[in-house]
Chains A and B, each alone.
Chain A
Amino acid sequence: MKKNYIHIIKSDFKRNKVLYLIILPVLIYFILFRYLPMYGATIAFKDFTPMKGIAGSEFVGFKHFLKFFKSFYFFRVLKNTFTLSFLQILFGFPIPIIFAILLNEVSNKYFKKVVQTVTYLPHFISLVVIAGMITQFSSQNGIFNDLLVYFGGTRESLLQNPDNFRFIYIASDIWQKAGWESIIYLAALMGIDSSLYEAAGIDGANRFKKILHVTLPGLTPTIIIMLIIRIGRVMEVGFEKIILLYNPATYEVADVISSYVYRVGLIDLNWSYSSAVGIFNAIINLSFLFMANKISRRYTGGGLW
């Protein structure tokens, strides 16, 4: 059996030499930059001091993990991470799909192109610039306040109010990413056999029915895979945007695990502690990924693996 297996690989290698060669750089990349660094994660179980190195530092077990669980801010950063990510999935995930479907219905090619370009332009603006724009626009004299006043609101500093933070975060995220993310769905839409639409038309389906019974089922595999991948990153709220946008007045809703890791690890030079928090975060992510995949396999018959 074992011999057989090696034999298969050997003959396969002989037959597909070039293919193996092509994948080699990728393999090397992953080993060098994805697997070897994992060794560094062991500092979460040690009291890391730079001069002693990773191997030489003293082993302390789960000390740093326990410290995090006992921390005053544990529940808060956990809750904020979940909330922000969940809201992102709830609002951010369907919008590119809806957008792609709607765009697909537009028959004017020129208009379609313009809309597509305009919507994915924000994807190319640097995050720092975007955060700067948001800060300026949300200030007391900013354009958002001008709009607010126009519609009968009162001027306030929007980014200082914890109630607004999540909305601003999610809305700007959608604005920045929806156009770009819709590309993959548009591509999937291209793959739907046009004869299906014709057949539906002959059966008397109107536009809405066609979307419901042809387009959506055609998109489902893509949607599910994207959703599983997205859920696998549920705890991965990027710290860059948070750090650029938050201030002490909004820590309460804005501080997430990754911004916490950045602060205690890189700013306060607490490397071991922050890797412990990071590992905890990764484990939760991984378990979510497994869960999502399992659920998907059970109910739709397909998943990532």
Chain B
Amino acid sequence: MKKANVKCISLLLIMIMMLSLLAGCGKTENKVSNESEVMNQVETKNNEEVETEVSEVYPLEGDHKLTYWVNFFSHPEYATQGETPLYKEVTKRTGVQTEWIVQSAPEAFSLLAASGELPDLVLYNFITSYPGGPQAALDQGLILPLNDYMQYAPNLMKYLEENPEVDKQIKTDDGIYYCFPRIRGGELLQTFAGPMVRKDLLEQNGLDTPVTIDDWHKTLTVFKDLGIQSPLTSEMGIIKSTNAFVGAYNTSFDMHLENGKIVYGPIQPGFKEFLKTFSKWYQEGLIDKDIASLDKAQVAAKMTSGQAVAAVGHTGSRMGAWLTAMADDSNYGLIPTQYPVLIAGDYPEFGQSDLTFSGIGTSISTKCEDIEAAMRLLDYGYSEEGHMLYNFGIEGESYEMIDGYPTYTEYIMNNPDGKNVGEMLMAYTHSAYFGPMIQDIRYMEQYSQYQEQKDAINIWKDTNVKNRQLPLVTLSKEEVDNVASIQSEITAYADEFFYKVLFGTLDVEAEWDNYVETINKMGLNEMLSAYETALERYNNR
């Protein structure tokens, strides 16, 4: 009796499982067929274009399949780039199939390299993230020197001939090409972060937009007195990378150029003055008490709930996101402010400006067998047709040419299914993330939905930072061996000192000389001279 029962139940369970499996199958099948229907529509639409537009090279003849490793891709619908409409189109047009490997952990590349089992293509920043830079990666046989194959990359070569400054940036000191770069195609694309304040609250309290450090102090104090808990908030990482506030004191959080020489910002006399001010603000409660541990979500919560009134952040993921989140509140407004200076009328020396080539590009690994296909696939992005595809997607679907201006369609900008613009652009274009391409300014013009964002870029780009920041120099393997640990130790030590002074555990007046001496003892000069020689080599490229 009992046994029979058990049998019955297990049979029932098995049946349920089978049914659910079948149901699952049915669903996926449906989805696939739906997708392929869409694809078919797309296909018919594009076949016409293909015939008229594609040069003789594309699509490549024969079967070409490449594996493509990337560090980051996050889209709610697509697990990898390969599934996006963009890459389905790329595959069709170039005739090269790509199989994507997406790993986002910070140590992912390290593990990949150590395993020696390399994919064909690797999207990575070899300059800033690989010890010894691209030269070391080439010497160790990780990635392929591309010079011998450049005949397969006519589009990139053409661009580099026309832009010798970029050519200099993407070569190694020995003149070896090693990657297909993501290039920012215009000054307005290079600036995307800076300080901003709640516009409505300024107006309500009869305050002007703060310009000088004193203005900021006054403004923040007024808000503090009004009961706002942490007037100035931000992720510390953004304050550091933009050098907001510290820039007013003519120094930075890292190495920078001073009359053509490389100096270390955190030990300059200006830094001491900055520390005194910032620490005072912190003690007065003007700066968020949690500043050392804030993340993006916490800052967003504070900036949209009235707990904070000012922040340093990006145009899209901060300003745009907050404005969108508060779209229902007609009072809510944000206004970009210029980078703070010491004396009214001064021109900000520091600010944020990304280099034309930030170091991230796609390299071909030594394990790649189909080098020509790899070169052709990557080069496609720099062709006229590839440029349009990577920046704007598929004509008729994601953009229309209106008076010669590629305009994103309603499908992208106001998606009927309620998907946001960022998501849609990620599915149809390459411009929102890294890839072998030249970013088009017309992408940003449309991506910035709010006038405030457009104003912000124009205000924030007005700094002298281009003359102060270091170009992307590369250290040799020997230099890295000597300098890498010095550098990370100095950075960590300076970081700690900064926080201790900020929180009031250390008195900057008393400790300053000791601090500078310690950094010197840790090997600062060795580090600076290594960078000086690297800079010289860079200038001689």
Contacts and interface: CB of A to CB of B under 8 A. Distances in A.
Chain A CB within 10 A, most for which of B111, B113, B293, B503 = B293
B290 interface: yes
B485 A49 contact: no
Contact of B293 (A48, A155, A159, A269): A159
Interface size bracket, B side = 35 or more
Contacts of B190: none
A267 B500 CA distance: 25
Given A51-B116, A140-B229, A67 B290 contact: no
B289 interface: yes
B26 interface: no
Contacts of B505: 162
B366 interface: yes
Contacts of A53: 116
A67 B485 contact: yes
Interface string A167-203: 0000000000000000000000000000000000000
Contacts of A264: 485, 488
B57 interface: no
A221 to B, nearest CB: 41
Contacts of B471: none
B512 interface: no
A144 B141 CA distance: 53
Contact of B130 (A157, A251, A263, A269): A269
A296 interface: no
B254 to A, nearest CB: 14
A273 B110 CA distance: 14
Interface residues of A, number: 37
Interface in A249-267: 249, 251-252, 262-267
Contact of B110 (A157, A252, A266): A266
A271 B489 contact: no
A42 interface: no
Interface string B64-82: 0000000000000000000
Interface in B273-312: 288-293, 298, 307
B185 to A, nearest CB: 31
A50 B115 contact: yes
A268 B292 contact: no
Contacts of A252: 496
Contacts of B140: 49-52
A268 B484 CA distance: 9
Contacts of A135: 293
Given A71-B489, A161-B503, A140 B230 contact: yes
A48 B488 CA distance: 20
Interface in A135-161: 135, 139-141, 155-157, 159-161
B484 A139 contact: no
Chain B CB within 10 A, most for which of A67, A140, A263 = A140
A67 to B, nearest CB: 7
A19 B142 CA distance: 48
Interface string B485-518: 1001100110110111001010000000000000
B111 A266 contact: yes
A248 interface: yes
Interface string B223-235: 0000001100000
Given A50-B114, A262-B107, A251 B292 contact: no
Given A139-B290, A264-B488, A248 B496 contact: yes
Nearest to B290: A157
B62 interface: no
Contacts of A290: none
Contact of B131 (A139, A155, A270): A270
B131 A157 contact: no
A257 B298 CA distance: 30
A72 interface: yes
Interface string B95-133: 000000000001101110111100000000000011100
A247 interface: yes
A73 B366 CA distance: 37
A160 B499 contact: yes
A140 B115 CA distance: 43
A305 B484 CA distance: 45
Nearest to A263: B488
Interface string B128-159: 01110000000011100000000000000000
B424 interface: no
Interface string B207-227: 000000000000000000000
A247 B293 contact: yes
B484 A249 contact: no
B289 A156 contact: yes
Interface string B464-486: 00000000000000000000110
Contact of A267 (B106, B230, B290, B493): B106
B238 interface: no
Nearest to B131: A269
Interface string A232-250: 0000000000000001110
Contact of B107 (A72, A162, A266): A266
B441 interface: no
Interface in A86-114: none
Given A50-B113, A140-B229, A267-B110, A251 B488 contact: no
A263 B485 CA distance: 11
Interface in A51-92: 51-53, 67, 71-73
Interface string A29-54: 00000000000000000001111110
Given A50-B140, A52-B140, A160-B292, A249 B131 contact: no
A262 B288 CA distance: 30
A157 B488 contact: no
Given A248-B496, A251-B496, A140 B289 contact: yes
Nearest to B502: A249
20 contacts: A50-B140, A51-B116, A51-B141, A51-B366, A140-B288, A140-B290, A159-B293, A160-B292, A249-B496, A251-B495, A252-B496, A264-B485, A265-B110, A266-B107, A267-B110, A268-B484, A269-B110, A269-B113, A269-B129, A271-B114
Given A157-B292, A248-B292, 18 more contacts: A48-B114, A49-B140, A50-B140, A51-B140, A51-B366, A140-B229, A141-B229, A155-B289, A160-B291, A160-B503, A162-B505, A249-B293, A264-B485, A264-B488, A267-B110, A268-B131, A269-B109, A270-B484
What are the 3 closest A-B residue pairs judged by CB atoms, nearest first? A266-B107, A51-B141, A249-B499
Interface of A: 48-53, 67, 71-73, 135, 139-141, 155-157, 159-162, 247-249, 251-252, 262-271, 273
